[in-house]
Amino acid sequence: MEMQYSYVSTQLEEGKKQFSQVQAAVNETKETLKAIEQLSTAGKEDNMVSLGSGAFVKTGSLDSQTVLLGIGAGVIAAKKPSEATAMLKERVEKLTEVLGNIDKSLMKLQNSRDALAAAFEQLQRG
């Protein structure tokens, strides 16, 4: 029974890590959507572009009519902002669905672990 408890606990921890990773992907995608929406306000003057980790680079005018979007397997496609927005919104929907599935699995694992803990405690009492 201890092995089952340990196994379920490990699965629960791994599931929590997966949940966090998917949640981070959702957050990143939502931030990207905001950035695309702000492209229309990018003017012809100099712009600051984030490189990540708080680093920026000053650029000239931006081509706000084209968004380069990763579409999978390392492939990048040029899309209109409206197309990129639609694809990213779909991605958020799919990731949110995955979050729901992971959450359901986590609840089942938590219930299993709780039941095993209760059974183990019952055995120890005699």
Q: Which domains does the chain have, with CATH numbers?
A: 2-125 (1.10.287.370)
Residue 101's pLDDT is 98
Q: What is the 3-state secondary structure (H, E, C) of the chain?
A: CHHHHHHHHHHHHHHHHHHHHHHHHHHHHHHHHHHHHHHHHCCCCCEEEEEECCEEEEECCCCCCCEEEEEECCEEEEECHHHHHHHHHHHHHHHHHHHHHHHHHHHHHHHHHHHHHHHHHHHHHC
Per-residue pLDDT tens, the chain, 126 aa: give them: 889 999 999 999 999 999 999 999 999 999 999 988 887 776 566 777 777 788 888 877 767 788 999 998 999 999 999 999 999 999 999 999 999 999 999 999 999 999 999 998 998 887
Indicate yes or no: pTM above 0.85: no
Residue 44's pLDDT is 62
